[in-house]
Amino acid sequence: MKRDPSLSPQAASEPQAPHEPLGPDDPLALAPAPFNPYKGNRGLTRAWHALKNSINGFRVAIREESAFRQELTLAAILVPCGTFVPVDAVSHVLLVGSVLLVLIVELLNSSVEAAIDRISLERHELSRRAKDLGSAAVTVALVLCVLTWALIVGPLAMHWLGR
């Protein structure tokens, strides 16, 4: 019976050579990413740069995205209401969290749209699909928010109205 040389202890510790070299169109053969001065930061420096980038993101969203401004206005009304509604702590988290989720999904949708517009402004089926999927995600978040508020605050409102 012949013994397989790849099962030897030396073969297990030696790295396997690739069977063929990577071609120029192989995604693994791409050049390394350009130097990013923020990737080397650690600890508080990294957190500080991340906070500055986040604040810039909020500024851009408020300045450039009307849907985000509308949802932010709604959040400015609903978040305080959600904290003062006489319900248990979990319900407070659900009320406020559902509103914040809408803002999160809107920011992600806006970033997808900006990236697609950066690539090309020409009409393309895949660009349309990506933008439509982002819009659908915002709609799902809005429906979740409405359902959460209706199920938690709805019965209280009915009781307050005397029905």
CATH no. for residue 52? 1.10.287.3610
Instruction: Give the structural domain span for 107.
Output: 44-160
Query: CA-CA distance, 60 to 26, in Å (whole number)?
Result: 36
Residue 27 has pLDDT above 90, yes or no: no
Would you say 39 is a known binding-site residue?
A: no
Residue 64 has pLDDT above 60, yes or no: yes
Residue 140 inside a domain? The answer is yes
Residue 18 has pLDDT above 80, yes or no: no
The structure tokens listed for 52 are 């500055």
Residue 147 inside a domain? The answer is yes
Taking the CA of residue 62 as centre, how many other CA atoms within 13 Å lie in the half-sphere pointing to its CB?
A: 8
pLDDT class of 160 with cuts at 50, 70, 90: confident
Residue 70 has pLDDT above 90, yes or no: yes
The helix-helix angle for 125-160 and 89-119 (nearest 10°) equals 160
pLDDT class of 46 with cuts at 50, 70, 90: confident
Residue 67 inside a domain? The answer is yes
pLDDT class of 103 with cuts at 50, 70, 90: very high
pLDDT digits (tens, 9 = 90+) for 113-144: 999 999 999 999 999 999 999 999 999 999 99
Would you say 14 is a known binding-site residue?
A: no
Would you say 129 is a known binding-site residue?
A: no
pLDDT value at position 20?
60
Residue 88 inside a domain? The answer is yes
Asked whether the CA dihedral 85, 90, 96, 98 is positive or negative, the reply is negative
Would you say 4 is a known binding-site residue?
A: no
pLDDT value at position 54?
95
The helix-helix angle for 43-64 and 66-84 (nearest 10°) equals 110
pLDDT class of 40 with cuts at 50, 70, 90: confident
Q: What residues have CB less than 8 Å from 137, skipping those under 6 apart?
A: 105, 108, 109
Active-site annotation, residues: 106
Give how far Cα 65 sits from Cα of 38, 71, 126, 150, Å: 27, 10, 22, 27
Would you say 2 is a known binding-site residue?
A: no
Q: How many domains does the chain have?
A: 1
